[in-house]
Amino acid sequence: MSTHPNILMITVDQQRYDCIGFSNHYPVQTPNIDKLASEGIWFTNAYSHLPVCGPSRQSLVNGRRPEAIGSLWNFNNGLKIAALEPSEYSWARELKRLDYQSGYIGKWGVHPNYDPTKYGYDEYVDENHYREFVKDNYPNIKYSNSYFGETNPIPVEHSKTHWTAGQATSMIQEMALSGRPWHIRVNFSEPHLPCRPSRPFSEMYPPSDIPKWGSFEEQFTNKPYIQKQQLVNWQIENFTWNDWAPIVARYYGIISQMDDAIGQILATLEQLSLSANTVVIFTSDHGDLCGGHRMMDKHYVLYDDVVKVPFIMKWPTMIAENQICDQFVYNFLDLPPTILDLLDIDTPDFFVGSSLMHLVENKETEEWRKEIVSTYNGQQFGLYTQRMIRNRDWKYIWNTTDIDELYDLNNDPHELKNRIDDISLQSVLSELRNKLYRQLYKEGDGLVRNDWLKAQLLKGRKLT
């Protein structure tokens, strides 16, 4: 029997931090994820470094920021983009040196032509297999409410959430037989819109019981033009909370359904006596507006609704139960060095993130990062470049072609009042701009290597 731990990484798509029960924000029921959090470490300040699926997932494979890779957008909407080539570094290959088996299930998003087996994984279960399953078993299924979601007529046991869980449990059972360590990455496509929970989850949350998001009273005063335009693009500019509540109820419902499926995977570890020697990681690529700031999806903003993510690590051998860590962490950038660190594998010097084992082991954190940086490059309705830096008190968003944003997070946690033109805050603004420039330059973002754009940050050559 191997002494190396198994590594189970569960990633979900478009999951808000505040819509996990353990966060104690909104009334979403996630008992299995909550139990996982209580058995390990819950990061209260975990952030997506770029809140779009493809670029963020390429970083998770490679360890660099998407801008350094050349990956700025997803592989759709007619934009020709760079992607992480198989010849590039992938930490999954490093595990082979320790005789790991590896498997990948579900959503990929790293390259349109090459699958995970070209990046170090032994097995790949493509999410397209589920589409074939539905085509064969439910050929007459029709949906009518587009991205706003609806009840799924497919029974929950045949839903995509539970199909994904079934693929994961089968792979765990198969790999456990060899006695060799394994790494399995399970990628749910939920709760990404359109949310289509099956019964009973579709009826779990009455719309009348859904509280408004704290950011819902957005008026877009002194905000970038693109934010209000996003409402027009989605044709939701006149939506009230009564319009949004059923949509959010379905978002809650698919999260609870997904939690039920995750519970099946975690139960398999218990049944096979694998829990003690398995590192379990749960996180999301980014969050979702879902009516937050009256907007939809996740594009053209770097509000906490979309950049703050749930993040859990459990490993009974090294991680004590009921740990809460409030340090700033990147989920997808800090995971590659963390995994290599816990396996005593040398970390490449081009990694942007830092090993979380320092925090997990409760060591002195005085030297840990004090700010977090997220980026965005537009796509869905046009290109729009943004860079964000935040600390515990302030968030600054650099919008290169529109008004910048500055939020007082202590007095305005929902980021409703833009303070960018407040003369009394110019020293705060200057410090954040300088720190943002230095970090972007260090981590290979070509945007700040342009002298005209550099002057916006370092010389204040930016209109308010």
Choosing from 369, 395, 412, the residue where a domain stops is 369
The CATH number covering residue 410 comes to: 3.30.1120.10
What gap in Å lies between CA 398 and CA 410, rounded to an integer? 20
Closest by alpha carbon to 314, among 365, 343, 278, 357?
278
Residue 358, pLDDT score:
86
Closest by alpha carbon to 319, among 362, 373, 283?
362
Q: Are residues 315 and 452 in the same domain?
A: no
Q: Is 1 among the domain residues?
A: no
Residue 365, pLDDT score:
75
Half-sphere exposure of 243 (CA within 13 A, CB side): 14
Q: Are residues 346 and 394 in the same domain?
A: no
Q: Are residues 318 and 435 in the same domain?
A: no
Residues of the chain whose pLDDT is less than 50?
A: 1
Q: Are residues 248 and 396 in the same domain?
A: no
What gap in Å lies between CA 224 and CA 437, rounded to an integer? 21
Q: Is 379 among the domain residues?
A: no
Choosing from 340, 369, 398, the residue where a domain stops is 369
What gap in Å lies between CA 154 and CA 91, rounded to an integer? 37
Give tens-digit pLDDT for 412-438.
Answer: 999 999 999 999 999 999 999 999 999
Q: Are residues 305 and 425 in the same domain?
A: no
Residue 77, pLDDT score:
60
Q: Are residues 329 and 437 in the same domain?
A: no
Q: Is 82 among the domain residues?
A: yes
For the entire predicted model, the pTM comes to 0.97
Q: Are residues 428 and 356 in the same domain?
A: no
Q: Is 378 among the domain residues?
A: no
Sign of CA dihedral 337, 342, 348, 354: positive
Q: Are residues 299 and 342 in the same domain?
A: yes
Asked whether 213 and 305 are in contact (CB, 8 A), the reply is: yes
Choosing from 369, 397, 428, the residue where a domain stops is 369
Q: Is 344 among the domain residues?
A: yes
Q: Are residues 272 and 202 in the same domain?
A: yes
Q: Are residues 410 and 451 in the same domain?
A: yes
Please tell me the total count of domains within the chain: 2
Q: Where are the beta strands (DSSP E) in 40-118?
A: 41-43, 46-47, 101-106
Question: Mean pLDDT, the chain, as a whole number?
Answer: 95
Residue labelled with tokens 């979403």: 28
Residue 382, pLDDT score:
85
Burial code of 339-364, b = ≥16 C-beta within 10 A, e = fewer? bbbbbeeebeeebbbbbbbbbbeeee
Compute, in degrees rounded to 10, the torsion defined by CA atoms 99, 105, 107, 108.
Answer: 30
Residue 436 structural domain: 385-458
The most distant pair of C-alpha atoms in the chain lies apart, rounded to whole Å, by 66
Residue labelled with tokens 């949004």: 244
Residue 1, pLDDT score:
47
Q: Is 413 among the domain residues?
A: yes
Q: Are residues 234 and 278 in the same domain?
A: yes
414 contact partners, CB below 8 Å, separation of at least 6: 213, 214, 215
Q: Are residues 268 and 150 in the same domain?
A: yes
Q: Is 375 among the domain residues?
A: no
The CATH number covering residue 228 comes to: 3.40.720.10
- Backbone phi and psi for residue 308, each to the nearest 5 degrees, phi listed first: -90, 135
Residue 81, pLDDT score:
75
Q: Is 376 among the domain residues?
A: no
